[in-house]
Amino acid sequence: MTVWSIDARSGERRAEYASTTPEEVGAACRRAHALLPVLDEAGPQGRASLLEAMADALDARTGELVAVSDAETALGEARLTGEVARTSGQLRLFAEVLREGSFLDVRLDSADPASAPPKPDLRRMNIPLGVVGVFSASNFPFAFSVGGGDTASALAAGCPVVVKAHSLHPDTSVLTLQALRAGAVAAGFPEDVVQLVHGREAGTVLVQDPRVKAIGFTGSVSGGRYLHDLAMARPEPIPFYGELGSLNPLVITPGAAKARLEEIAAGLSASATLGAGQFCVKPGLVLAPEGSGLAEAMAGHFTALGPQTLLGDSIREGFTAGAAEREAVPGLRTVATGLAGEGRQVTARLLAGPVSLLGSSALLLEECFGPLTVILEYSGEDDLAAALSAASGSLTMTLHSAPEEEELANRLVALARDRAGRLVFDAYPTGVTVGWAQQHGGPYPATTAPTTTSVGAAAIFRFLRPVTYQNCPPALLPPALRDGNPWKLPRRRNGILEQPSQG
């Protein structure tokens, strides 16, 4: 089998890659497993240096990476240049996480022989989970792919990584891998701390390899569920951290519509069509007051949009079919379409109808990946609350309200909190800041593990597990648990948080 690098705009073949055989996947996993002690013994400081060297290597190759990725994805130079910077920034964030040290979650309980029953000396910390398999995303060829957040957080945790390259950007994947491996060597680490495999069969074999102890995945609901179920069916089931599909409902209250309709129409149109609507946090469902005029206000923004090139044939075919299905829903009207294109290009679509359609068409509660959004109009607060209650799990939910609507806003926030991982107020969900407090996850189908995030500092916890040392001889304790706190970590002793001295 062959994986081709395809020009997203012309459809021409650019380069050919042989699919990785099952035997080759197994060999990669064995090499990765052999490097677990290397990453562990490097400690937080050593791994921080590794991540920073990888970030430097990516930045040094930005021009080449962007040129190749633009050919494969048609995402444009400006967008991709920013994404490389975001990717190297993620690596540097996890270097900060490692140096700060609280990710180890060190807890010390002192022995108390006089208690009844006697209490032993207990010392608890997080350790690396094991080899991690990562599946690249189609829509973020850098930030959610070979050197993206899953890889960065796994390496930070001390876990070697084997990445399954996405079929829509294999050239970009290979170049990114080369940069990461050059960074590893520059930092004094073996280059095989991160490896790459190609092909659908290789992905299946990767999930089933007994040396792999966790999977990070960003992709479709169907593909994610297949791999999730495969991971759960192993003789030793493993965690599958999948980001699948997200509708990201956006609510506009009557007060907000009255106060700033044109402003919201412009911002929402831009958010829904950003990157040709290929963002996982695109607002795909808008709940607006009946008679507010939102659809009409947004129509001009959509009709002015030029034709757009999607990431690849499969994405375009899925969007075309999904748009046609929604346009065929009785009672749902096409308010506006973008300018017509040629060949491989698609046009944006804005659809609208009454909120009662949710009772007859479950399709409207499913994501349509691409430049399409649906406005459903409600007639009262109960109508709105019922619609929000019907929504499935999402990465985000957004609320635009007015100050005098505090009671309604509180009611909606309570509903939204149970259905999303990030609540956005008077703004738009596209644009996911990478930081310490970010949450990029949510109830199913947004993710398969709603207690975790794939973006931000907390992503590291997916690839760690706790171990307690009971009455351990001091010489056998890892440095993080020793008296004197040699790594100068924040630690909790007998329930009291202790900050390290900086002397």
Catalytically annotated residues: 243, 280
* Token pair recorded at residue 346: 């698609």
Look-up of token digits 């990717």:
87
Local structure of residue 445 (DSSP, 8 states):
T
The upper half-sphere exposure of residue 409, i.e. CA atoms within 13 Å in the direction of its Cβ, equals 17
Give CA–CA dist 486/480, Å, rounded: 7
Alpha helices of 122-212 — where are they, by DSSP H? 149-157, 170-186, 200-208
Q: How many CB atoms lie within 10 A of CB 327?
A: 14
User: In 3D, which of 375, 427, 428, 426 has the Cα closest to residue 405?
Assistant: 426
Return d(Cα 450, Cα 487) in angstroms, integer: 32
- What is the torsion angle, in degrees rounded to the nearest 10, for the CA atoms of residue 286, residue 291, residue 293 and residue 294? -10
Q: Are strands 491-493 and 496-498 parallel, antiparallel or unpaired?
A: antiparallel
Q: With CA atoms as reference, report the closest residue to 48 among 499, 460, 497, 493.
A: 460
CA angle, residues 25, 27, 31, in degrees to nearest 5: 115
Q: What angle (nearest 5°) sits at the alpha carbon of residue 145, between those of residues 170 and 75?
A: 70
